[in-house]
Structure 1
Amino acid sequence: MAISSAELPRKKSLPRSRRFFRLIGSLFDPRAWAHVAKIVNYYNYSHVVPLRSVTFDGERNVSPDAVFQNGERIRIGENARIGSRCHFWAGPAHGRIVIGKHALFGPEVLITAASYRYNDGSPVTEQAMDEADVIVGDDVWVATRAVLLPGTVLGDGTIVGAGAMVRGEFPAMSILAGSPARIVGERRTSGLKN
């Protein structure tokens, strides 16, 4: 038996007066203001404070919603561009993130220089971390939602495809894709600008 479109459920819109009273109610709801305080706190400890300790070789070109951890071990090269909701997590002890000049990071890229060990007991959050530097060369493009894991080294001119999971060392001008990432091509250009 077929159902006609008239019988299918539809989303109901609230009348304008109900939406207005919902707005007024939210302005006086202490839970909403407590949530605003939590968001400001998160923004402060994940962006504002660590960004002060990141070393920039040139002008800052960082999206206002990018997240940094252990900024004192992060160096960002001249004219590098950090996209929206990127996460740069240097290691808690020594794992560094070093970004070359003219690098471009799409939205939601994650770079981490540390990861939890998982065979040392439980809970995993109380285990030691393995750390290794992440080095990104000059003129590298890392596309949306790519993940660079500890120990990754990307040669100059490398392109990392969207959603790639990268670990290891890759030569200059490589084009990487997949999870785990592998070389799928080679970039051809007349040369890098200085």
Structure 2
Amino acid sequence: MTTPTLPRKKSLSTAARVLRLIGSLFDPRAWLHLVKIINYYNYSHVAPMRSVRFAGARNVSPDAVFHHPERIEIGHRVRIGSRCHLWAGPRDGRIVIGDDVLFGPEVMLTAATYRYDLGSPVTDQPMAEGDIVIGNDVWLATRALVLPGTRLGDGCIVAAGAVVRGDFPPMSIIAGSPARAVSQRVIVQ
């Protein structure tokens, strides 16, 4: 019994290769791809991301957004999912992220928020700013929102959709809106 073989493609002659190259120069798909590559660098995240202080290797989604990146510090081996927003404060609100942190898609960290005192429009009031500090080995699940002044200890897990403000001890499992510690992580040996 013989083994079936695939039909062999004919090798292209030099003239055929040159004609294929010339044809690709006039192919609109090739030009469209080039425009997409060039336009990538016009996204709002590319220039600001250059100002973020990265400690080491990282995996940042191309559509993550950084505001006031000069006040954002990111540790080693951090993974930032798609459509995440990291907004440091316009004056002094910082975001400090430890090592081995995982951001699910659409997570938002904001180190500044508007005040809502009566007597003047919200947009005319100064922003309330507070540092956000995230420890090592923290996981923020899809659409978690972290507000100014939050501190997450090492090993915390933040559930999807949680609205987090305040200090949380290491190894907390945090859920809800407003978020609270619902459990503790246990180390299995």
Asked if structure 2 preserves the Cα contact closer than 8 Å seen for 1:96 and 1:113, the reply is yes
Give the match for residue 76 of structure 1: 74
For residue 61 of structure 1, give the secondary structure of its aligned residue in structure 2: strand
Q: In the aligned structure 2, how far is the partner of 1:158 from the partner of 1:57?
A: 21
**Hey, what does 2:184 align to over in structure 1?**
186
* Pair member with larger Rg: 2
Q: 1:108 pairs with 106, 109, 113, which one?
A: 106
| TM-score normalised by L of structure 1 | 0.74
Identity of aligned residues (%): 66
- Does the CA-based 8 Å contact 1:121-1:127 persist in structure 2? no
What corresponds to 1:157 in structure 2? 155
User: Are 1:97 and 1:133, in contact at CA under 8 Å, matched by a contact in 2?
Assistant: yes
Report the Cα offset of residue 59 of structure 1. Answer: 1.6
Superposed structure 1 runs of 4+ greater than 2 Å apart = 40-44, 120-123
Q: Which residue of 1 aligns with 2:88?
A: 90
Alpha-carbon spacing, 1:121–1:170, altered in 2? closer, same or farther (3 Å): same
Gapped runs of 5+ residues in structure 2? 1-34
Report which of the two has the higher share of helix. Answer: 1
RMSD: 2.1
Q: Any gaps of 5 or more consecutive residues in structure 1? A: 1-35
Distance between the aligned counterparts of 1:41 and 1:97, measured in 2? 26
CA contact (8 A) 1:120 1:127 kept: no
Alpha-carbon distance change, 131 to 139 in structure 1, aligned in 2, over 3 angstroms: same
The aligned amino acid for 1:112 is T
Separation in structure 2 between the aligned mates of residue 123 and residue 48 of structure 1, nearest angstrom: 33
Alpha-carbon distance change, 142 to 43 in structure 1, aligned in 2, over 3 angstroms: farther
* Deviation (angstroms), 1:118: 1.2
TM-score normalised according to structure 2 size: 0.76
The CA deviation string for residues 82-123 of structure 1, in whole angstroms up to 9 with x for no partner, is: 000000000000000000000000000000000011115443
